[in-house]
Structure 1
Amino acid sequence: MDNSTDNWDPALTRLLSSLKEVQSDGEDVAFLSELLQSKQLHALVQVHNKIVAAQCKDDKFYPLLSNAMQVTLEVLEMFGEVVISSNEYKELLKLLQKPHFQAILCTHDAVAQKDYYPHLPDIPADADDEEETVKIVQLVKSDEPLGGAQSAEPIVGATIKTDEETGKIVIARVMHGGAADRSGLIHAGDEVIEVNGISVENKSPADVLSILVRSNQSSEGTITFKLVPSFGKGGSRESKVRVRALFHYNSAEDPYIPCKEAGLNFKKGDILHIVSQDDAYWWQARREGDRVMRAGLIPSRALQEGRIIHERQIDPQTLDGKAALCSPSAANSDCGPKTPCSPTPNATALLPCKSTPKVKKIIYDIKENDDFDREMIPTYEEVARLYPRPGLIRPIVLVGAPGVGRNELRRRLVATDPEKYVTPVPYTSRAQKTSEQNGKEYVFVTREKMEQDISEGKFIEHGEYKGNLYGTSAESVETIVNSGRVCVLSPHWQALKMLRTPRLRPYIIFIKPPSLKTLSETRTAANARSTFDKESSRAFTEEEFADIIRSSNRINFLYGYMFDEEIVNEDLATALTQLLKMAWRVQSEPLWVPAAWVQ
């Protein structure tokens, strides 16, 4: 090292020397080496060392005075008794009279006098040592919600309930990240005795809420609770689980949530941080990226699955995925024929599920074989971030109803950069024409070979047309990915079951049609040719437009939980622009994928 580095921290210098002995050219080592040689890092370490050294000394920092504002007023009073015409005098007088300067002095005095500490009430002198142990907790008021359902109300980040055995008011749950949780002093099971000096004996949760609201309006910045602690019931550690929501949820429309104000609203596709799964029915979660620290209540997986099952029992043909608000018991979430659903404990009575048969199977066209997919109940999917890897780009899969335009979008995407975006060459068992080149238009194989590969699961999709087999092999997709190019596919929707694997890790984009009216107008104006008739070139019929809408809704219902993005294909140019942006994200940004893909 040169002389300019002589005063660098010895520990970092030794670490850098050891790093050079590693003799590795990896990116991580190069980055760490550059960081350790950064002058900014060494400057920060020196500042840190000086602060630590100062803290180790016995002498502490104390304010010189705690009445700076009073001194200022006395100076102003003295100035009023004399007449000085100098510019310095006028400037000083003007400065001392400025409200911002006086506010700084007042703040200084408050800090010096430690006025910001809450003032706890004194312990009564006549307290009996044999009385039940209590704790007094004083919380500074914040923006925590105050209002809710009949069964539980949020109190600065906690909910309350009436204990079924004792009839006393107890803390039902502590919301992660709320004021109660941050204090570390309020726990689930604690008995509430008083709120701001008002006894809650023989009162309901609604009565306690009224007391709290009145106290909140009259108290000066703090709310004081007298509690009987629930020993052995400390706070639980925050979970690190992230999930993708596969349905929409609005707590205001849920009549069975213990407390509407404590609910967390989310949309399908939102990433949720599940911080607590202690309750079998109501999890605590935060939206990933939100700055709000307090968690909110969301229905648990078992609760939401029970709701969807109940809806399908009522209307097995439903395709909108809306969940009925029925809450089966945790032990029997499928509402079997002999076990009615029991209400969620410690909450308002829920809609009982009467004795009903199991979910009715729906018979689809045997060629499509969607029975299994129809019975899937998507609620939450555990996810993790997948970081882009140079030279290994995730395949882009465009899925949608026949006639929606996914193949045209694929062709246009490939045309923007044919060296970068590539579609795998399909396989076929038909005879090769003299004008065709094997491996260009098709890969030609015998029917026996193709049937064998299909039976061994080597094709992500396959079908038969005019007695000949056609298909796309998984190996051809992997070959494109391993070559550093972007594989672009537009398969039949049922191929998603073969494609969405940890091995291929595709980025799936749903191509969605606009409204029926807009679909008809835009395709007619563009003189679009029907894709339903392979024998002749003609325009789409109105019935075909309706089929596109129906098919799209059905695909979205069956496989929507697999989609990473969606594009409404109203205008091809606009849709292509959106597709290019999504393709760039796949190549450059860390994205959420099923957790199993990164393990």
Structure 2
Amino acid sequence: NHESTGAIVVARIMKGGPADKSGLIHEGDELKEVNGISLECKKPKEIIPLLACSQNEVKFKIIPDLFLQLFVRALFDYDPVEDPTIPCQDAALAFKRGNILQIVSMNDDTWWQALHIGDSSSNRARLIPSQQLQERCPFYYIVHLRSFRLGKKSRWARERARSWRWSTGVHGLVCPSTYTEVIPHHKDSKERPLIFVSLSPGPGGVGVNELKRRLLISDPERYGVTVPYTSRPKRKQENEGVEYHFVSVHTFEEHILNQRFIEYGRYKGHYYGTCLDSLHKVLAEGKVCLVDVHPSSIKHVYTCEFKPYVVFVKPPRIEELRLTRRRAKFICDDVGTNPEDFEDMMDMAETMESHYGHLFDKVIVNGDIATALRELKADLKKLEEADVQWFPAEWFCSSPTTAQRSCSHLSGWI
């Protein structure tokens, strides 16, 4: 009997016994029912009579010990048809970035065996490239080399660097390049913040503010936004807590020291920032909080406390980007159409995806705002209806003790 939860957990399997021979029950599994009778609130001694009165057959309903299973989210697309190194194409598993895979064997250094979770068409383990093999792949290196082409800075990049001095602290999290471990979690009633990551501010940005605005007005009872903090004096037409929370420089800097900002910056001599208090306030109202941040600031909310759903909004192909900016320039002359700006945006997006892609739950290419909104809403609806959600294992391995207990099986592979 598990002391903290009251769950009935299998402590030992007798070698050679019926349970051992069946191969269906393992140490650490949680027993939920015996022959259709719920074991909720029952003590181990109350289960013995249930087993004793069984005839030739005993039916158990169990929850497998998840720490004896390894689930990962793929961080790349894989098509065995295009892989000349695969030993047997028919035995390989094709998957897309973001798919959840259950690793059933890592005995081979180059080819692991895995199941595609959510694919009902096959329950047979198939081959996937191991982390070591994928990282040795020439294509992998080509992609990653391309992400470091930011040698020159355009006018936009220089202006962006001058205007904002973002607080970055430790620059993001270490990026596992091929797979990242995830843990299944049954959905609860608590809403998850929706974190937008983009290149904004920039030459017209990539439409994150407009995407947020349309999502908010589509269902204001469900979605909410944070009210930013500033040290700038309040203007006549402004109201406290509406446009901004107005605080003194001393108070703002105290909040910085106490790490209460998701991110902050200085603009024209004044502080501006998004405070964790504002995020808590929206969540306390039972709403999904819409927040857009620089990827280096995700670490402040990428925790088990918030369980954010992170959406990366990236620009479309450079030809489409040129076309949309030309159209926008007819409306607003401030929208840049400098070719260097476009190249910088594409390079920046590539670098962000390379460094922070393991944090992104969804990647949306914002070529057309209406299409991007439909795609996002469809994805959020699917997320809302899902009984099980997949969270990064690191959220549940925050302390050394917990990490040693629940993540020891990861040693040496990620």
Verify the 8 A CA contact 1:529 1:540 in the aligned structure 2. Answer: no
Partner of residue 236 from structure 2, selected from 413, 434, 447: 434
CA deviations 1:15-58 (Å, max 9, x no partner) are 79x99xx9xxxxxxxxxxxxxxxxxxxxxxxxxx9xx98x89xx
Verify the 8 A CA contact 1:239 1:274 in the aligned structure 2. Answer: no
Give 1:137-176 correspondences, 5 Å limit: none
Verify the 8 A CA contact 1:394 1:586 in the aligned structure 2. Answer: no
Partner of residue 540 from structure 1, selected from 326, 336, 349: 336
Q: Secondary structure at the match of 1:376?
A: coil
1:276 aligns to 2:74 (yes or no): no
Give 1:118-517 correspondences, 5 Å limit: 240-290=69-119, 291-305=121-135, 307=137, 317-319=145-147, 376-390=175-189, 392-402=190-200, 403-517=205-319
Distance apart, 1:584 and its partner CA: 2.9
Q: Distance in 1 between matches of 2:216 and 2:144?
A: 41
Q: Distance in 2 between matches of 1:569 and 1:443?
A: 31
Partner of residue 563 from structure 1, selected from 360, 371, 376: 360
2:322 is matched with 520
RMSD: 3.8
Point out where structure 1 has 5 or more consecutive residues left out of the alignment: 1-11, 23-48, 57-237, 322-364, 531-536
Distance apart, 1:317 and its partner CA: 3.8
Q: Quick one: structure 1 residues 302 and 456, their matched pair in 2 at CA, closer, same or farther if it must change by over 3 Å?
A: farther
Q: Secondary structure at the match of 2:127?
A: strand
1:140 is matched with none
Q: Distance in 1 between matches of 2:393 and 2:143?
A: 33
Q: Which has the higher contact order (CA 8 A, sep 6+)?
A: 2
Distance apart, 1:485 and its partner CA: 1.0
Distance apart, 1:596 and its partner CA: 4.3
Q: Distance in 1 between matches of 2:102 and 2:238?
A: 54
Verify the 8 A CA contact 1:396 1:486 in the aligned structure 2. Answer: yes
Verify the 8 A CA contact 1:381 1:594 in the aligned structure 2. Answer: yes
Q: Distance in 1 between matches of 2:208 and 2:289?
A: 15
Q: Quick one: structure 1 residues 598 and 587, their matched pair in 2 at CA, closer, same or farther if it must change by over 3 Å?
A: farther
Verify the 8 A CA contact 1:512 1:566 in the aligned structure 2. Answer: yes
2:379 is matched with 582
CA deviations 1:400-428 (Å, max 9, x no partner) are 12210011111111122323211110011
Q: Distance in 2 between matches of 1:305 and 1:502?
A: 29
Q: Secondary structure at the match of 1:383?
A: strand
Q: Distance in 1 between matches of 2:289 and 2:108?
A: 44
1:595 is matched with 393
Q: Distance in 1 between matches of 2:188 and 2:246?
A: 33
Q: Secondary structure at the match of 1:490?
A: strand
Sequence identity percentage: 37
2:402 is matched with none
Partner of residue 573 from structure 1, selected from 370, 384, 388: 370
Verify the 8 A CA contact 2:212 2:290 in the aligned structure 1. Answer: yes
Distance apart, 1:549 and its partner CA: 2.5
Aligned partner letter, 1:565: K
CA deviations 1:80-136 (Å, max 9, x no partner) are xxxxxxxxxxxxxxxxxxxxxxxxxxxxxxxxxxxxxxxxxxxxxxxxxxxxxxxxx
Distance apart, 1:459 and its partner CA: 0.8
Aligned partner letter, 1:580: K
Q: Distance in 1 between matches of 2:173 and 2:68?
A: 32
Q: Quick one: structure 1 residues 574 and 252, their matched pair in 2 at CA, closer, same or farther if it must change by over 3 Å?
A: closer
Q: Distance in 2 between matches of 1:549 and 1:405?
A: 15
Q: Distance in 1 between matches of 2:383 and 2:115?
A: 25
Distance apart, 1:307 and its partner CA: 4.9
Verify the 8 A CA contact 1:414 1:422 in the aligned structure 2. Answer: yes
* Larger radius of gyration between Structure 1 and Structure 2: 1
Q: Quick one: structure 1 residues 529 and 559, their matched pair in 2 at CA, closer, same or farther if it must change by over 3 Å?
A: farther
Q: Distance in 1 between matches of 2:330 and 2:311?
A: 22
Count residues in correspondence.
Answer: 323
CA deviations 1:182-225 (Å, max 9, x no partner) are xxxxxxxxxxxxxxxxxxxxxxxxxxxxxxxxxxxxxxxxxxxx
CA deviations 1:523-571 (Å, max 9, x no partner) are 43355767xxxxxx52331333343333222222221221111222222
Q: Distance in 1 between matches of 2:98 and 2:143?
A: 25
Q: Quick one: structure 1 residues 382 and 591, their matched pair in 2 at CA, closer, same or farther if it must change by over 3 Å?
A: same
Q: Distance in 1 between matches of 2:83 and 2:147?
A: 21
Q: Which has the higher strand share?
A: 2
1:66 is matched with none
Distance apart, 1:259 and its partner CA: 4.2
Q: Quick one: structure 1 residues 374 and 585, their matched pair in 2 at CA, closer, same or farther if it must change by over 3 Å?
A: closer
Distance apart, 1:469 and its partner CA: 0.8
Aligned partner letter, 2:334: R
Q: Distance in 1 between matches of 2:283 and 2:173?
A: 32
